[in-house]
Structure 1
Amino acid sequence: MTIEVRLEQQGIILPEAAAPVASYVPVVVSGGYAHVSGQLPFRDGELMTGRLGENVSLEEGMEAARACGLMLLAQLKQAMIPLDKVVRVVKLGAFVNSTPDFTDQPKVANGVSDLMIDVFGDKGRHARAAVGVAALPLGAAVEVDGIFALADA
């Protein structure tokens, strides 16, 4: 089964890939890996903002992390990398805009981790970092970057 069929069966629709907000490129392919720059969460075209532990719930944070994952996949497609060429999700880095006393960053990051497993199956299991930060670009609640191993790259 192709990844496109898997997405369709799960009712997953990828968003339009977001344009960079600064001086970087969204995807760099080198040495058989696609490195995808940090992606922000969008729901219905609106940026999901706020801080976990202040005005964003754990469930909303997980949804934001999942939205970042959808944008990671959208960036791969925008870069003309068929999702079926992904042989492994290698590593994800989740940055959570959170208060100093919020300690559930790993649970927030499960939103993106679970998405990758839903989409790629066992190839979606990955190494990961989940850290709390004082602020993110544009006030985003979560930002996620990723490294993907590619076939024939």
Structure 2
Amino acid sequence: MSRISAVNDRGFTLLEMVIAMFIFFAVIAVIPILLQTANPPASDLSRNDQEIHTWFQEISKEAQYARDYAVEQNRLIITDIDGVERTYRRSGSNLIRSGRSGGHSVLQNIDGFHAQLVSDGVVITVNANKKEYKRQLRPTRAPEEEDIWIKREL
């Protein structure tokens, strides 16, 4: 009679499992790097251009609560419906926003900032990267007795 050899079918050893997991995680760590170099950024806009467009969106939202605009010494002063004033001015290559709580830089690496009053609001011009960006803002024109429904959410 021939004897059948015993087969070890207990599965993987701990060492084999650790080696397999190491290889798996090494491959997973390399995939994002390969994908990032294979796909260039989808946008033709530079980071500075994107920041300027984002700032114009933010100031447009702020203009929803504006009661009045003023331009003094190339500074834009926005007064909201609560009487709070916010000032935008250029300092070097930065655009500074000042308010009750102090000031901070909202745009960097700009070549110029100009605000001009027009009959129905203000036109803001920002120059950066040899490009000119413009946006017109209009104040809120709600009747005085209807100011109750225009309240700013903080």
TM range (shorter): under 0.3
Could you tell me the TM-score, scaled by structure 1's length?
Answer: 0.26
Query: Which structure is higher in helix share?
Result: 1
The answer to which structure has the higher strand fraction is 2
Q: Which has the higher contact order (CA 8 A, sep 6+)?
A: 1
Which structure: larger Rg?
2
With normalisation by structure 2, the TM-score equals 0.26
